[in-house]
Amino acid sequence: MRILFVGDVVGRPGRDAVAALLPKLRDELRVDLAIVNGENAAGGAGLTTETARELQAAGADVVTTGNHIWDQRQFAGEIEGLDFVLRPINLPPNNPGRGSLTVKGALVVNAIGRTFMAPADDPFRAMDDLLARSDAKITVLDWHAEATSEKLAMGWHLDGRVTAVVGSHTHVPTADARVLPNGTALVCDTGMVGPRDSILGMKTDVIVERFRTGMPRRFEVADGSVSFGSVLIDADDATGKARSIERVDRTYPS
């Protein structure tokens, strides 16, 4: 199975880039399963039914999320009707939605880190519990976390038990994509699908001013050329082991 994981989509510029590039990449790279992190797709913070469906129409088989999952408040009442959307599996159990799903024979999971993040249940235990109940050969984790140490720890913890641990959240791509000794593909962060000349997809002057003054300012999605960050994982269907992981980075418009 060939799996494309697309990093955090930021606002309308990110959604436009996904709509333009993902269908072509699916054909070009012979992608069997496309997973897109959409937690910043609605105005740069959160997700809505409309924006989730937009990503699905562009070719996303699964849309994952993260710490901004409930930023669009109505989404808590909408997520149950979107069977292709995941929220982190280790949110408290009273949260609506689901943290994992099986699509095209692959188990896709979303989990959130705890280092430098808001409180959440133990993601390591949550993954252990899920895997103890799963018989899926291919399992892909969107590991939405801040600290590279925590991201690496999860990769090594799951090495040989899942196909891939793919990092999201920081919007900054890392150069460490590799297959671990027991067959798990790992990358600390895929990067984003958002405006290149920005700070994490947001207008630079707004973010610089917040750092300079310490005063709150409303985030605004930047514009201009979009960086499209993704990784392609080639997995053995019989064993679930990753054969390779490679970065697939594009610019839109090219």
Q: Which domains are seen in the chain, by residue range? A: 2-252 (3.60.21.10)
pTM: 0.97
Q: How do residues 131-160 score in pLDDT, each as one tens digit?
A: 999 999 999 999 999 999 999 999 999 999
Section 28-34 average pLDDT: 98
Per annotation, catalytic residue among 68, 144, 169, 171? 68
pLDDT of amino acid 254? 82
pLDDT of amino acid 173? 97
Tokens standing for residue 82: 């979107």
Instruction: Provide, rounded to the nearest whole percent, the portion of the chain with pLDDT above 90.
Output: 98
pLDDT of amino acid 2? 98
68 assigned to active site: yes
pLDDT grade for 198, boundaries at 50, 70 and 90: very high
pLDDT of amino acid 170? 97
Section 54-68 average pLDDT: 98
Section 63-78 average pLDDT: 96
Sort strands 242-252 and 226-235 into parallel, antiparallel or unpaired. Answer: antiparallel
Q: Residue 207 pLDDT > 90, yes or no? A: yes
pLDDT grade for 242, boundaries at 50, 70 and 90: very high
Q: What is the mean pLDDT of the chain?
A: 97
